[in-house]
Amino acid sequence: MIRHLLSGADLDADTATEILDTAAEMATVAGREIKKLPALRGRTVVNLFYEDSTRTRISFEAAAKRLSADVINFSAKGSSVTKGESLKDTALTLQAMGADAVVVRHPASGAPHRLANWVDGSVVNAGDGTHEHPTQALLDAYTMRARLGRLAGLSVAVVGDVLHSRVARSNVLLLSTLGAKVTLVGPPTLIPVDIAAALAPGTDVSYDLDSVLPNVDVVMMLRVQRERMNDSYFPSAREYARRYGLDGPRMRRLPEHAIVMHPGPMNRGMEITPEVADSPRSTIVEQVTNGVSVRMAVLYLLLGGNNR
Amino acid sequence: MAYPPAARSSPPRQPSVKVILASADVQRVVDRIAHQILEKTQGAADTVLLGIPTRGAPLARRLASRISTFEDVAVPVGVLDITLYRDDLRRHATRAVGPTQVPSGGIDGKRVILVDDVLFSGRTVRAALDALNDVGRPASVQLAVLVDRGHRELPIRADYVGKNIPTSLAESVKVTLVETDGTDEVKLYGGTTS
């Protein structure tokens, strides 16, 4: 069993499938009166968040608490980080407090990889810069499998700001491991040259959303990340929405069974219209629910046994 | 499920093997337990059978099917995975979690009969009682096992026992079932073949 979860590439098909299967069992706990399992009693999980987050932090917190772990939430705001403490010193502090796992979100790509060298516990990447977000990819895969019954052979379009998207990178890695075919769609300025080949051979790139839609099982809309955009990647928000936004007429060109996903938070009216976001095809709320089960599975598989 | 650590239950290099129950015996024993359940529960009303994976699950289904053959009552059957409630999780590499299926009627107020293949230390049953506690509040809990091999480490006993097998700690008991292993058999490995 793996010790850290830093990248979608850390998971081979067997391990990823084991996580999804375990998550399916964890999901049954949510339907019970007592939503708690004793598996991680006495273990400490630290949520180390250097970047704002609502759903990911709460999701990890709920997951750890449902497994009876003790949770310490650390956010950079209001901590010694504002006094200039480095990531390493913060890590050593957590180490001294006996953290069994550190769930880290950081604006710098690669920060969780550095952290993994400094602490004895397991490190889970909860999003690092524009690099990776492996648990999001796992919950997306779980949602696809739950809705469509399989992953192998699925055709998945990932649409939008691929350049800045850690969700896209982790999804391409994990989905190709699990046998799905990914097509990256977006304006040329937001799709790095050679990204498909660099991440996973067999991944396609298209700049024309309308030609891709009739042939996909899943369309995953990415958030336009205004906070990471320092240059003009497209002329205007309206033009982006017209060419790459998913609206009602575009949604109706999808195959009957196809689902629409979004990792959240959404810019309604930008990459996705309210009509699509609130339609029965949309899995956006399910993704949040599934996130807790998947993160429970990840924490259990990293911390549940004696894997040191 | 044989609960104790691998070192205690794994057969030695050149094991002496003794068949305790052959295929027909296993079926007779299951039939007897089914009759005993009907007798002791006055017709198995308000009763739920919960099998503990791996081999308790098919045993529970067999008991339910025999009960419905004998008395024409449908007893709800479920599966209760105890992996996350074990007291030795930390001593081994992470264990895969099995399925838990509680019958749609739930277990609140019912008489729950836990079903397992081998009763040994009692720790599996202890974990199952904890797991049950999180699923609901049964009126009472009973235990049915195919084999009781002794060596309890906790104050736990079975209500229905298929076969008592006196063993030494050096020996191990292995139950195979058609559903999981292809044959119905109970074998004793190690020790003397007296």
| Residue A31 near chain B (CB below 8 Å) | no
Alpha-carbon distance A302 to nearest alpha carbon in chain B (angstroms): 8
pTM: 0.90
Kindly report, residue by residue over B122-141, the tens digit of the pLDDT. Answer: 999 999 999 999 999 999 99
| Residue A30 near chain B (CB below 8 Å) | no
Size of chain A in residues:
308
Please list every residue in chain A whose beta carbon sits closer than 8 Å to the beta carbon of residue B79.
none
A38 is in an annotated binding site: no
- Is a pLDDT exceeding 50 seen at residue A198? yes
Across B171-180, average pLDDT: 95
Q: Are B53 and B117 in contact (CB under 8 A)?
A: no
More confident residue, A141 or A75: A141
Alpha-carbon distance B130 to nearest alpha carbon in chain A (angstroms): 9
Q: Give me the pLDDT at residue A100, please.
A: 95
CB atoms inside a 10 Å sphere around CB B40: 14
The pLDDT confidence band at residue A94, using thresholds 50, 70 and 90, is confident
Give the DSSP letter of residue B104.
T
- Domain extent listing, chain B: 23-165
Kindly report, residue by residue over B25-68, the tens digit of the pLDDT. Answer: 999 999 999 999 999 999 999 999 999 999 999 999 999 999 99
Alpha-carbon distance A134 to nearest alpha carbon in chain B (angstroms): 20
Q: Give me the pLDDT at residue B116, please.
A: 97
Whole-number average pLDDT of chain A:
93
| Residue B74 near chain A (CB below 8 Å) | no
In chain A, CATH 3.40.50.1370 sits at 8-132+288-303, 134-283
DSSP B82-95: -GGG-TTGGGSSPP
Q: Give me the pLDDT at residue B183, please.
A: 95
- Tokens 């003794």 correspond to B18
| Residue B103 near chain A (CB below 8 Å) | no
Contact A300 B100 (CB under 8 A): no
A264 phi and psi angles, rounded to 5 deg: 70, 160
Nearest alpha-carbon partner for A133 in A261, A296, A7 = A7
DSSP A201-217: TT-EEES-HHHHGGG-S
Across A212-217, average pLDDT: 97
- Is a pLDDT exceeding 50 seen at residue B107? yes
From A3-7, A30-34, A280-284, B152-156, the region with the lowest mean pLDDT: A30-34
Q: Give me the pLDDT at residue B192, please.
A: 55
Determine the Cα–Cα distance for residues A284 and B117; give it in Å rounded to an integer: 44
- Is a pLDDT exceeding 70 seen at residue A239? yes
Q: B23-165 — its CATH code? A: 3.40.50.2020
Buried b (16+ CB within 10 A) or exposed e, A216-252: bbbbbbbbbbeeeeeeebbeeeeebbeebbbeeebbe
Q: Give me the pLDDT at residue B15, please.
A: 62
- Is a pLDDT exceeding 60 seen at residue B9? no
Strands B77-79 and A181-185: unpaired
- Is a pLDDT exceeding 80 seen at residue A229? no
Nearest alpha-carbon partner for A223 in A274, A266, A182 = A266
Q: Are A223 and A271 in contact (CB under 8 A)?
A: yes
- Is a pLDDT exceeding 60 seen at residue B10? no
Q: Give me the pLDDT at residue B193, please.
A: 45
Can you read off the two tokens belonging to residue A296?
Answer: 């429970």
- Is a pLDDT exceeding 90 seen at residue B11? no
Q: What is the interface pTM, i.e. ipTM, of the complex?
A: 0.81
Residues in CB range of B36: below 8 A, 6 or more apart: B160
- Is a pLDDT exceeding 80 seen at residue A232? no
The pLDDT confidence band at residue B1, using thresholds 50, 70 and 90, is low
In chain A, which residue's Cα lies nearest the Cα of B97? A22
Residues in CB range of A68: below 8 A, 6 or more apart: A36, A37, A38, A39, A40, A41
A187 is in an annotated binding site: no
Q: A8-132+288-303 — its CATH code? A: 3.40.50.1370
DSSP A275-307: HHHTSTTB-HHHHHHHHHHHHHHHHHHHHSS--
Q: Give me the pLDDT at residue A81, please.
A: 76
Q: A134-283 — its CATH code? A: 3.40.50.1370
Please list every residue in chain A whose beta carbon sits closer than 8 Å to the beta carbon of residue B89.
39, 304-305
CB atoms inside a 10 Å sphere around CB B100: 21
Q: Give me the pLDDT at residue B194, please.
A: 45
